[in-house]
């Protein structure tokens, strides 16, 4: 299943810089591992915001939930999930 996910990050200003840096490093490693596996198909930064739009390709809602709640920055995020499905006018074979 494909999902469009918007993630807005709001790290508290009073979080010690070293702690924030460590969490961000773990987040990067985790997200890149998911990208290499094909589960996190695309990620785009939103200009001027600490946010991204991403496309996930996972088995079901439960797998997506596990991935998102496993993000080291999860507790600092507002997340909006939109399920996607193939459009009948699509000419691409790889967008399922």
93 lies in some domain: no
70 lies in some domain: yes
74 lies in some domain: yes
- Helix (H) or strand (E) segment spanning residue 81: strand 77-84
Give pTM, 2 decimals.
0.90
32 lies in some domain: yes
The predicted pLDDT at position 86 comes to 85
Residue (of 35, 56, 45, 41) closest to 9 by Cα position: 45
Per-residue pLDDT tens digits for 16-66: 999 999 999 999 999 999 999 999 999 999 999 999 999 999 999 999 999
Residue (of 33, 6, 90) closest to 25 by Cα position: 33
17 lies in some domain: yes
13 lies in some domain: yes
CATH number of the domain bearing residue 30: 3.30.70.1060
Please determine, for residue 93, whether its predicted confidence score (pLDDT) is greater than 80.
Answer: no
59 lies in some domain: yes
- Confidence band (pLDDT; 50, 70, 90) for 96? low
Please determine, for residue 95, whether its predicted confidence score (pLDDT) is greater than 70.
Answer: no
Number of domains in the chain: 1
**Domain hosting residue 29, numbered range:** 2-84
């Amino acid at each position: 299943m494909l999902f469009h996910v918007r993630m807005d990050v709001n790290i508290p200003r009073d979080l010690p810089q070293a702690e924030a840096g460590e969490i961000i490093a773990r987040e990067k490693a985790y997200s890149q591992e998911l990208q290499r596996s094909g589960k996190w198909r695309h990620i785009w930064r939103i200009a001027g915001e600490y946010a991204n739009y991403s496309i996930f390709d996972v088995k079901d809602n439960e797998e997506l939930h596990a991935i998102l709640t496993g993000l080291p920055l999860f507790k600092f995020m507002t997340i909006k999930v939109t399920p996607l499905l193939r459009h009948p006018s699509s000419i691409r074979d790889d967008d399922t």
